[in-house]
Structure 1
């Protein structure tokens, strides 16, 4: 049987070989993001050698949309300035086919030329005055217009007829962002039919019509997703998929009306355009990317991710080579999260040729270790919950402050404490509850009734909860609930009143409102979450808290010290030493579940400051709630991101060394080796006889004791993958 086939049967019952579809067997990808002058200079022979060096199995190359790289016969389909008589997309497609590679035609459909606008002005975004939206001499197309509904399907059909690509990608399929309310005729009539309302004149979260427009805007994008897939499958066959592209950050995607859950439910493969780290999220974001997208698409789906080889950061340079360690760590973290690597270069010809040395070694390692990187399931009993509704209707005009910081605060705290977790969409709590012991709800304020009900059932079955802030106090539209639906299982009654600093801190460091603290109890009364703080009676806070009433089975683990002057130093003394206002509450509910509630927004504060004390509190609460059930322990120096997976007959541990990368923005120039590191995995039956290190090449016998298998790494440079079997 060939590697591109699977066994099956005809009606006769005789075994046959059926082809494995491309989206189940293409693990390594390459993208040449063509520029308009590449048809003049691009060297196909060079790219063929690079494909071999990087072991790619599929390529993504520009075909049409904003710029056509083939001789399109469609009127107004703008051709690349340097195309002339050349068919550059056709050449890439032909040579890739000869090499046995999957080919995806890349599109960009969010804007068009002056000629197109002059011929079809009704296809483009306009403001309330009827003025078109433009950038760099191009007009932005409207997702509800005939540009999307008629013209782009014709382009897809032409490309299919000429080249028969395996599928299509598009990095701008969602159109313009939420910053622009399009008032074209298509949008006006369609929204009227949907909501019975006129389009909102401006962003106003207090306007129910604006909130309806937000929800409707997501629906419009998914309608186009379904339309394009109907076209590509009808004319290209059932496996010719239109895939768009997504960013895996669940907060960032709301700006473009991309609903990751809806996309995941429709996708055989999710193409992730999340090219590098950013100052807030760091490298650890990439292992999270893979797990979050697998959570919505399934662990049998492949998740390729575009990985930039050009310089990104405070200043980006499209043709400059990214520092090798920067690219490599992003790739390694992605692989640890189940992501398929996908090189990305802007331009078919590069004068800074250093970037072409970034990918081959790690792509070759990926090929050699394919067996361990796919067909596996994460092993974790802790779920970190997110949702699009919370981003929209709690995040509202400031999703970074309201949603991203609490979410990221927990991500960072768990990664730093080497606690494996899985991202869980709020709609999937009931689906995933059976394999979880702990749910974390990071200020998940806006929740639907069904989401609250799923949390309630989880807690009533003995599940443990760690939650913060205003979780569950708003409905799915972001409106305050009269009654907190989780009161019976959490012991918390909300007053909808807050205390302390609210909103962003000013650039002036001497900011009175955030100069507040946490009061710790006397040593003999302290909760175990406060272990390690024996030498202090206060902890820095810097945030706000919810005023709540607590059931008698909850105890205050710490209380609030109100703000007082920070400057001048002579005035910086505590005005109110003690209050009875709880910052943290802990206890066991009547159903046997452990409950830890952060009334104070410690998750948000940690996401903003990375102050270690706050991260220790978050991680300590999760460890306490898990009651000793976590399946992985990693001990030793350094900032390590650790993931645990199960395959039939084996356990797989990824340990990625991020030491030195978490302090400031910039670029990784070298690795900081750490060690020794001790890795212990809780066994669920058979005892592994061997531990194979797939980076260093070593093999050792694990130490088996008390139901754990332990392996020692003397030193860790960038990463290690341990196979226990």
Structure 2
């Protein structure tokens, strides 16, 4: 197998963070043996940069003081190859050792007063436009490739991104920005300023250009050497937006794409704690495997995450966290910090890796080359993430919550879906789907709108929420929706709070059900109201071609309880607009952020409305029917004559999961009448097939954590 082939085969990886102190007595042979027993097929490891793990001849590379003449890099590569494991050398160019920074201050990021940005004591932040990336990187890459038989070069995530917490005013940045825009760099962060918009777009381009340059550097030394990087998707907007990462454009210049899902938990200095979504890994795998044909690595932390790098994540949660990656078209990868397995201070987490990796390895033919069989897509907009609601400090998070509200509703309803982006809206891409969903996709361009119009005209289903298409790509508000013809609704010029004017009183509002027989409100027959919050677009609806089954109630106080009622009439404001065009293309427009409210509250009625909208818009043509608790996650994949339903049990109660409640009697069916065989991948056990019309169903008696039902047609 050549250097250009191995990473195209679905595998299982580790990223090995090697600390200075680890170099003191590093047992590479034991490490490789442990990795082999865990069914690891590749790993990356710290080789060059601010921690260099080999004797370097480069004066400005910082060699680990614990090396003492040893060659840890060489020992690691040789040991890995003895066990048939691929070893990728990682270089981190984002941090400059003190000696390099003081001798070459023009390599550093600087603040408005010309002071170097310090990363930590004795280390400084490099600028991606500086000579460290542009010139010295060539020497580091050449030295490693010429000394060692590595299977790839990877650049750490900080190697090409801008400092997320400050503006770099170095000469290179000032000159380049001036030449590119005719403007001076902004003096402070102000998202409402047009200069900041141009600054953000400039950074996005420069980050991508840096990724391309580093790829070219590697290829100039060895044209066959695979090149990898590190990034993150929209689920961590603090990093994505702060460092100006366009992961889709960056993927054009990497052999395989690594994205992180590491910060599952964060406890900040003020004592504020925050959990990431339990479904983050699946989200990243779905998104990346939909927007690029290149291999995807999704890397999670072995540890619990910030601030605890030593304590292992519980095996129960780690296994289902990793399983979501494997189930959605990507390669699971674990960031191991604290030394190799034999000397790790908390080895309890390795069993999860071994179990999942062994299962994946044993059944690799079912993973390698599979593709999604979902017929629904959520559309993500990087422009909305970056430029919508610039005056709202939390706008990035709010947009992600809108997307995740839709994700969560589909996951709980066991409806498989992909996540695509506005950069992929070709007719060919959209034709894969019966319905596309635009969760509060406020920023939209003419080209994107036209793609949605053509899709709708071909009979595709469209669901949109909030202020979708009301803003241009830079976040400037339009007078009307760009998709008003698809929505069959016009913007009335103002977005209002559903709770009325801010008076200081705690208020409540509801959507009133006007037609209890409509499919949109199926399952809500026993109520006449559904809670609503936040803001809504006032709209004028095309009466002749639409149905409005939900309207807005008049808001009223919550306290005192004896006065908590209203005698005012319904406001008449449309809360859902449904239409069908001449080609049977159906559209549902919710002029409010029902998606975000469901994510924040989990109110079942909101999920019911979202799921009903999906089913109605796609004429009920879901590809699978699963009867299981909402904590059973489903992914639908296919390969050749095999259709595979991945089942992941997330019934763990409060996080961190320490145990899972096994699920019993799960009914799994696919809309495929020509099924000839069905079996459980873990055991090979044949499953009895029950057929009814075009539905082929089986029963899974017990699901402990992760398994796959395979249907052969």
For normalisation by structure 2, the TM-score amounts to 0.93
Distance 1:105 1:133, change over 3 A: same
* Structure-to-structure mapping, 1:495-644, within 5 angstroms: 495-500=492-497, 512=505, 515-521=508-514, 523=516, 526-552=517-543, 553-574=545-566, 576-644=568-636
Shift of 1:133: 1.4
SS of aligned partner of 1:142: coil
Shift of 1:719: 2.1
SS of aligned partner of 2:431: helix
* Structure-to-structure mapping, 1:34-45, within 5 angstroms: 34-45=18-29
Contact 1:308 1:345 in 2 (8 A): yes
Distance 1:479 1:20, change over 3 A: closer
* Structure-to-structure mapping, 1:314-463, within 5 angstroms: 316-348=307-339, 349-394=343-388, 396=390, 397-430=393-426, 431-463=428-460
SS of aligned partner of 2:539: strand
Contact 1:108 1:173 in 2 (8 A): yes
* Structure-to-structure mapping, 1:708-719, within 5 angstroms: 708-719=695-706
Mean Cα displacement is larger for which, 459-468 or 534-543? 534-543
Using the alignment, how far apart are the partners of 2:531 and 2:163 within structure 1?
38
SS of aligned partner of 2:423: helix
**Count of matched residue pairs:** 692
Using the alignment, how far apart are the partners of 2:499 and 2:245 within structure 1?
29
Contact 2:677 2:686 in 1 (8 A): yes
Using the alignment, how far apart are the partners of 1:465 and 1:95 within structure 2?
54
Q: Give the aligned partner of residue 183 of structure 1.
A: 169
Distance 1:112 1:194, change over 3 A: same
Using the alignment, how far apart are the partners of 1:216 and 1:272 within structure 2?
22
Shift of 1:143: 1.0
Match of 1:674 among 655, 663, 667: 663
Gaps of 5+ in 2: 266-273
Q: Give the aligned partner of residue 55 of structure 1.
A: 39
Using the alignment, how far apart are the partners of 2:624 and 2:254 within structure 1?
31
Q: Give the aligned partner of residue 269 of structure 2.
A: none
Mean Cα displacement is larger for which, 171-180 or 636-645? 171-180
Distance 1:562 1:345, change over 3 A: same
Which deviations, in whole Å up to 9, do the C-alpha atoms of 1:645-695 show, x marking residues without a partner?
12111111111111245xx5x300111112211111011x7x222111012
Q: Give the aligned partner of residue 289 of structure 2.
A: 294
Using the alignment, how far apart are the partners of 2:176 and 2:399 within structure 1?
31
Q: Give the aligned partner of residue 147 of structure 1.
A: 132
SS of aligned partner of 2:112: coil
Q: Give the aligned partner of residue 467 of structure 1.
A: 464
Which deviations, in whole Å up to 9, do the C-alpha atoms of 1:134-185 show, x marking residues without a partner?
1321211111111211112221111111114222222322333443111110
What do you get for the CA RMSD once the two structures are aligned? 2.2
Distance 1:249 1:480, change over 3 A: closer
Contact 2:499 2:508 in 1 (8 A): no
Shift of 1:131: 2.0
Mean Cα displacement is larger for which, 689-698 or 599-608? 689-698
Contact 2:10 2:367 in 1 (8 A): no
Distance 1:164 1:52, change over 3 A: closer
* Structure-to-structure mapping, 1:102-141, within 5 angstroms: 102-137=86-121, 138-141=123-126
Mean Cα displacement is larger for which, 260-269 or 416-425? 260-269
Contact 1:679 1:711 in 2 (8 A): yes
Q: Give the aligned partner of residue 271 of structure 2.
A: none
Which deviations, in whole Å up to 9, do the C-alpha atoms of 1:188-211 show, x marking residues without a partner?
000011111111111223322211
Using the alignment, how far apart are the partners of 1:265 and 1:576 within structure 2?
58
Q: Give the aligned partner of residue 691 of structure 2.
A: 704
Using the alignment, how far apart are the partners of 1:67 and 1:462 within structure 2?
56
Q: Give the aligned partner of residue 307 of structure 1.
A: 300
Using the alignment, how far apart are the partners of 2:97 and 2:81 within structure 1?
32
Q: Give the aligned partner of residue 693 of structure 1.
A: 680
Match of 2:250 among 251, 263, 269: 263
Matched, 1:657 2:652: no
Using the alignment, how far apart are the partners of 1:682 and 1:513 within structure 2?
48
Shift of 1:356: 2.8
SS of aligned partner of 1:362: helix
Which deviations, in whole Å up to 9, do the C-alpha atoms of 1:484-526 show, x marking residues without a partner?
33222221111241121599x9xxxx98466222111254xx4
Which deviations, in whole Å up to 9, do the C-alpha atoms of 1:109-147 show, x marking residues without a partner?
211122222111111111212122113212111111112
Contact 1:556 1:584 in 2 (8 A): yes
Which deviations, in whole Å up to 9, do the C-alpha atoms of 1:332-362 show, x marking residues without a partner?
1111112212232102231222233331122
Contact 2:329 2:371 in 1 (8 A): no
Distance 1:429 1:511, change over 3 A: farther
Mean Cα displacement is larger for which, 556-565 or 578-587? 556-565
Q: Give the aligned partner of residue 494 of structure 1.
A: 491
For normalisation by structure 1, the TM-score amounts to 0.91
Q: Give the aligned partner of residue 206 of structure 1.
A: 192
Q: Give the aligned partner of residue 268 of structure 2.
A: none
Using the alignment, how far apart are the partners of 1:50 and 1:192 within structure 2?
53
SS of aligned partner of 1:199: coil
Q: Give the aligned partner of residue 84 of structure 2.
A: 100
SS of aligned partner of 2:556: coil
Gaps of 5+ in 1: 6-18
Distance 1:193 1:20, change over 3 A: closer
Shift of 1:612: 1.8
Using the alignment, how far apart are the partners of 1:628 and 1:152 within structure 2?
55
Using the alignment, how far apart are the partners of 1:478 and 1:642 within structure 2?
35
Contact 2:576 2:588 in 1 (8 A): yes
Using the alignment, how far apart are the partners of 2:336 and 2:165 within structure 1?
29
SS of aligned partner of 1:574: coil
Using the alignment, how far apart are the partners of 1:25 and 1:645 within structure 2?
17
Q: Give the aligned partner of residue 242 of structure 1.
A: 227
Shift of 1:591: 4.2
Q: Give the aligned partner of residue 711 of structure 2.
A: 724
Using the alignment, how far apart are the partners of 1:189 and 1:403 within structure 2?
34
Using the alignment, how far apart are the partners of 1:20 and 1:160 within structure 2?
15
Using the alignment, how far apart are the partners of 1:332 and 1:511 within structure 2?
47
Match of 2:201 among 215, 222, 227: 215
Using the alignment, how far apart are the partners of 2:586 and 2:253 within structure 1?
36
